[in-house]
Amino acid sequence: MGSPNNKPARIFSLHHHTSLPCTRAHQIGALLLIATTFFLTRVFDQSFSTCPPSSLNHDHSSPNVVHVSDGGSLSWPQRGYGPHLSLKIYVYEEDEIDGLKELLRGRDGKISADACLKGQWGTQVKIHGLLLKSRLRTRKKEEADLFFVPAYAKCVRMMGGLNDKEINHTYVKVLSQMPYFRRSGGRDHVFVFPSGAGAHLFRSWATYINRSIILTPEADRTDKKDTSAFNTWKDIIIPGNVEDGMTKRGVAMVQPLPLSKRKYLANYLGRAQGKVGRLKLIELAKQFPDKVCFNGHGRNSSAFGLDIYRFVIELETLAYCSDAFPRKRNRDYECLWVECVPVILSDQAEFPFQNVIDYTQISIKWPSTRIGLELLEYLESIPDEKIEQMLAAGRQVRCLWVYAPEFESCSAMQGILWELQRKVRQFHQSAETFWLHNRTIVDRHLVEFSSWDPPMPLPR
């Protein structure tokens, strides 16, 4: 009997003795074969690229840009979004979890939703209300794709309903009573933080909801440790709250002047607060008062209410408005309604629905390091015809900034739902979730998911 290695040895030996010498003719033939293969591959690829674009998506000109008709009908691109909304969202009831009502009404339960509807934090109230009435809402947790956690924490804090420590403690208590939050590590749970503080309003956000989907109008909000609460891969920038009277069709409180009758070139609304960029704008307003209008009231909590109307009235006389907040603010949404062109001086700003809206058509982004006379000269050099084109483009998409009922085909809520659909994970798991051979979901102690009893230790 031979060795087990004999057979491979004979094969290699045979291959060696029967191989033919590599001649120049063989080399030329190999090169021709490679060239022919490359040519046929290119022809094959081009034959597929000539397929009618309508067979791939509805938008022939730009498949990544949302289109809105004059009547406000929204055509969302298929690429990355799909042909239709297919989403089920569970909305937690305020009485089903101990502590949730406090985040909505305050410790005494006296703060109403209407009281929280004004100002930037009004988006929390609007999104919550629209989801309660949505056709995509489900009352069965087991079939939900996403879970919405309602809270008006910023409003409650500003009205004295809860302090910072109480907000933090209450959020943790609420989350510990949500088995589905525990199951996914929060990945399928949605929170709204509409104020300048963002998720930092919940001091322990980085520990408990760092995997959750956060809706906020202001990206890249950082704390004193320069820790950002916004992650562009999981979170969503939403339109800020615009006064309803500005957005109602046919009865809008603002009737912008024709471009030829606008007195000033640019407006800056805000406070100095020692910021270099803001100080430069204020200095420009002092040097060129006939071109730059400075309003020092700002639009923080003390300036909510009627001050917003003064802001709109001032803007309606302008060709441009400017946003000089260096990373944080997205106030250009109001510019669309008073029909001035947003001049963005926030280098790291992100914007609502920026996957599908071409912001180069409706705004100007200028380096914050080049604020000065150069900026004014540039704005003055833009022909009125181009400005009119940008204003017209803004009118086409501004319905995406309106928090309207679901029957409106173009609204902020429609846009948010499309973005949420892109965030859905079909598989729910976390570092503290396990499964067995029969697909049973268990915790670290091998307790089945259906038997998880609150309160539960939270994923970290």
- Number of domains present in the structure of the chain: 3
Give a yes or no: residue 84 inside a domain: no
Q: For residue 266, name the pLDDT band (cuts at 50, 70, 90).
A: confident
Query: Running DSSP on this structure, what letter comes out for residue 290?
Result: T
Q: What is the CA radius of gyration of the chain?
A: 29
CATH number of the domain to which 397 belongs = 3.40.50
CA distance 316 to 263: 10
The CA-atom distances, in angstroms, between 47 and each of 41, 42, 44, 54, 276 are 10, 9, 5, 16, 56
Statement to judge: residues 222 and 285 lie in one domain? no
Task: Check residue 347 and give its pLDDT.
Answer: 81
Q: Which domain holds residue 180?
A: 89-241+425-429
Assess whether pLDDT exceeds 60 at residue 59: no
Q: What angle do CA 456, 458, 460 make, to 5 degrees?
A: 160
Between 30 and 86, whose confidence is greater?
86
Statement to judge: residues 291 and 237 lie in one domain? no
List CB contacts of 389: < 8 A, sequence separation 6 or more.
361
Which 3 state secondary structure label does DSSP give 225? coil
CA distance 204 to 229: 11
Statement to judge: residues 205 and 329 lie in one domain? no
Specify whether the CB–CB gap between 171 and 202 falls below 8 A: yes
Statement to judge: residues 211 and 271 lie in one domain? no
Across all residues in the chain, what is the average pLDDT?
77
List CB contacts of 156: < 8 A, sequence separation 6 or more.
102, 103, 104, 105, 106, 111, 116, 162, 167
Statement to judge: residues 256 and 388 lie in one domain? yes
Statement to judge: residues 63 and 108 lie in one domain? no
In tens, the pLDDT along 81-91 reads 777 888 999 99
Q: For residue 300, name the pLDDT band (cuts at 50, 70, 90).
A: very low
In Å, the largest CA–CA distance within the chain is 105
Task: Check residue 281 and give its pLDDT.
Answer: 82
Statement to judge: residues 62 and 178 lie in one domain? no
Tell me which residue has tokens 């109307």: 309
Task: Check residue 317 and give its pLDDT.
Answer: 55
Statement to judge: residues 225 and 250 lie in one domain? no
In tens, the pLDDT along 161-217 reads 999 999 999 999 999 999 999 999 999 999 999 877 788 899 999 999 999 999 998
Tell me which residue has tokens 């969202």: 89
Statement to judge: residues 157 and 301 lie in one domain? no
List CB contacts of 228: < 8 A, sequence separation 6 or more.
220, 221, 222
CA distance 330 to 238: 10
Specify whether the CB–CB gap between 246 and 253 falls below 8 A: yes
Statement to judge: residues 203 and 260 lie in one domain? no
Give a yes or no: residue 367 inside a domain: yes
Give a yes or no: residue 77 inside a domain: no
Task: Check residue 315 and give its pLDDT.
Answer: 39
Give a yes or no: residue 130 inside a domain: yes
Query: Of the given ranges (132-141, 222-231, 370-379, 435-444), which has the lowest mean pLDDT?
Result: 222-231
Statement to judge: residues 253 and 236 lie in one domain? no
Q: For residue 451, name the pLDDT band (cuts at 50, 70, 90).
A: very high
* Structure tokens that stand for 259 in this block: 């471009």
Phi/psi class of residue 349: alpha, beta or left (left: φ > 0; alpha: ψ in -120 to 50)?
A: beta
Give a yes or no: residue 18 inside a domain: no
**Given 10, 38, 71, which residue is the final one in a domain?**
71
Q: What is the mean pLDDT of residues 297-313?
A: 32
Q: What percent of the chain has pLDDT over 70?
A: 70
In tens, the pLDDT along 400-410 reads 988 988 888 88
Tell me which residue has tokens 């509805």: 58
Give a yes or no: residue 197 inside a domain: yes
Among candidate residues 130, 120, 129, the one with its CA nearest the CA of residue 194: 120
Phi, psi of 364, deg, nearest 5 = -125, 135
Give a yes or no: residue 455 inside a domain: no
β-pairing, 341-344 vs 266-269, is unpaired
* Structure tokens that stand for 239 in this block: 């339109």
* Structure tokens that stand for 7 in this block: 């057979």
Task: Check residue 144 and give its pLDDT.
Answer: 96
Give a yes or no: residue 391 inside a domain: yes
* Structure tokens that stand for 324 in this block: 């000089």
Which pTM was predicted? 0.77
Among candidate residues 124, 203, 195, the one with its CA nearest the CA of residue 166: 203
* Structure tokens that stand for 150 in this block: 């309602």
CA distance 422 to 272: 39
Statement to judge: residues 237 and 254 lie in one domain? no
